[in-house]
Amino acid sequence: MTAPRADAPAAGQAGRPGGAEAARLWPIVALASLAVLVIAAMAVTPNFLSVENLRGILRNAAIVGIVAVAMAPVTLSGSFVSLGVTQSAMAAMVGFVVLIGWGWPDWLAVGAVIAGMVAIGMVQGVLVAAGLNPVITTLAAGAILFGTVSELTGGRIVRMGPARPAWGGGEVLGIPLEILVLVLFTGAVTLLMSRSVIGRQTILVGANRATAAVSGISHARVTLVAFAVFSVGLALAGILNAAAFGEAMANSLTGLTFSVIAALLVGGIAIQGGAGSPWQAAAGAVLIAVISNMMVLNDFSPGGRLAVQGAVVVAAVVLIDQVRRRRARG
């Protein structure tokens, strides 16, 4: 085999020439395709550029974006993705509805849900740090959460009742709350990854775990922090959704896992870790929302929309791979 080591599966943890460069180049590609899409959308869909529509797009992107941004550190650290996104966010959502329904003050309920989610996330983080496969760990955690919530709610819808927070689904200075949270959260996590010691270490562990170990960087600490950040994002997404709708059930948020992973991939974050930045996940979420919106305005069937979304993910992954290979070759 004369393929460069970069392309051999063997490279795995060790080396991915061009990975970082591809990640650096990818935002440009992503932005360019976003621009092309917007222009195309304007041409074929008259209502596309209305303030209402744009706001709708961002709103749709917000929940997915928040969770995708939150998951970025897990992916960057080399722990792939969580397959329990839907169930975790749903648990946060149901939890918040129940607490508000019990008459807890808003701030206390928010704090409790975040703390609870972080605790659940840390347990998964500990298991992954101890060497368990992250995909299986998160899948199992998702199943446990779903089972528990189903059992406790008896599969019925839970409602907040009259105590529903006034800010649910609301706006701050004319900006929908979800969008504001997405922007702030994306900024915070992006800064954490690019400017903090733990963020740098997260990316280095993802780039090469063995070298990181020799450099005295703790894989366990990085994994725990990554899962904690992830859990905060899950809690925020669940709370925002619960506050907007005032009710929740065990089957809420289906499809979120796929959308979040799609946003991550379309955003160009290296699935093996070690290259990329959280804001790219937010960009990926917006890109996907734009595409779905175009399809809605142009009367695509739900099945057709899903198929196109899948195709976009595949196209993005292929494109990233091409960029990476080209770069590796020089």
Partner 1 sequence: MTTGAAGTGTAGAAGVPRLSVRGLSKRYGSIQALDAVDFELRAGEVMALLGENGAGKSTLVKVLAGLVAPDAGAVAIDGRDVDLFPSARSQAAGVAVVHQEYSLVPAMSIAENLVLGQGDAPDLWLPWRLAARARRLLEAVGLAHLDPRTRVERLSVAEMQLVEIARLLGRDARILIFDEPTAALADREIERILRVIRRLADEGRGVIYVTHRLAEVFRLADRVTVFRNGRSLPALPTAELDVAGVITMMLGRELGTMFPGHGQPAGAPVLEVEALEAPGLTAPVSLQVRAGEILGLTGQLGSGAADVVRCLAGLAPPAAGRVLLARRPVRLDSRAAALAEGLAYCSADRKRDGIFFGRPIRENLTAPWIGRVARAGLIAPAAERVAATPVAARFAVDVRRLGTPVGAMSGGNQQKVAVGKWLGAAPRVMLLDEPTRGVDVGARAEIYRRLRELCDEGMAIVVASSDTAEVFGLSDTIGTFYRGRLTELRPRAGWTEDAVVREVMHEEAPA
State which of positions 215-234 bind partner 1 (CB under 8 A). Answer: 215-218
Binds partner 1 (CB under 8 A): choice among 91, 109, 149, 207 = 207
Binds partner 1 (CB under 8 A): choice among 52, 214, 301, 303 = 214
Judged by CB under 8 A, which stretch of 153-161, 202-210, 235-243, 276-284 contacts partner 1? 202-210
The answer to whether residue 131 forms part of the interface with partner 1 (CB under 8 A) is: no
State which of positions 11-30 bind partner 1 (CB under 8 A). Answer: 14-21
Burial classification of residue 21, based on how many CB atoms lie within 10 Å of its CB (0-12 exposed, 13-18 middle, 19 or more buried):
middle
Judged by CB under 8 A, which stretch of 1-9, 41-49, 92-100, 101-109 contacts partner 1? 1-9
State which of positions 261-300 bind partner 1 (CB under 8 A). Answer: 274-275
Q: Name the CA radius of gyration of the chain, rounded.
A: 20
Name the token pair of 47. Answer: 């209502």
User: CA torsion angle for 229, 234, 236, 239 (degrees, to 10)?
Assistant: -150
Binds partner 1 (CB under 8 A): choice among 46, 52, 197, 302 = 197
Closest by CA position to 82, among listed 281, 286, 321, 319: 281
Find tokens 């990329």 and name the residue.
276
Nearer to partner 1 by Cβ, of 15 and 95: the residue is: 15
- For 301, how many CA atoms within 13 A lie in the half-sphere containing its CB? 3
Judged by CB under 8 A, which stretch of 159-167, 213-221, 243-251, 290-298 contacts partner 1? 213-221
Spatial distance between the Cα atoms of 102 and 107, rounded to a whole number of angstroms:
14
Q: What is the DSSP string of 4-73?
A: -GGGSGGGTTT--TTHHHHHHHHHHHHHHHHHHHHHHHHHH-TTTTSHHHHHHHHHHHHHHHHHHHHHHH
Nearer to partner 1 by Cβ, of 9 and 303: the residue is: 9
Binds partner 1 (CB under 8 A): choice among 108, 210, 315, 318 = 210
Binds partner 1 (CB under 8 A): choice among 1, 43, 166, 173 = 1
Judged by CB under 8 A, which stretch of 207-215, 232-240, 278-286, 306-314 contacts partner 1? 207-215
230: phi > 0 → left, psi -120 to 50 → alpha, else beta; which? alpha
Binds partner 1 (CB under 8 A): choice among 60, 208, 277, 309 = 208
Spatial distance between the Cα atoms of 325 and 123, rounded to a whole number of angstroms:
37
Nearer to partner 1 by Cβ, of 150 and 218: the residue is: 218
The answer to whether residue 82 forms part of the interface with partner 1 (CB under 8 A) is: no
The answer to whether residue 119 forms part of the interface with partner 1 (CB under 8 A) is: no
Contact positions vs partner 1 (CB under 8 A): 1-5, 8-10, 14-21, 195-198, 200-201, 203-204, 207-208, 210-218, 274-275, 329-330
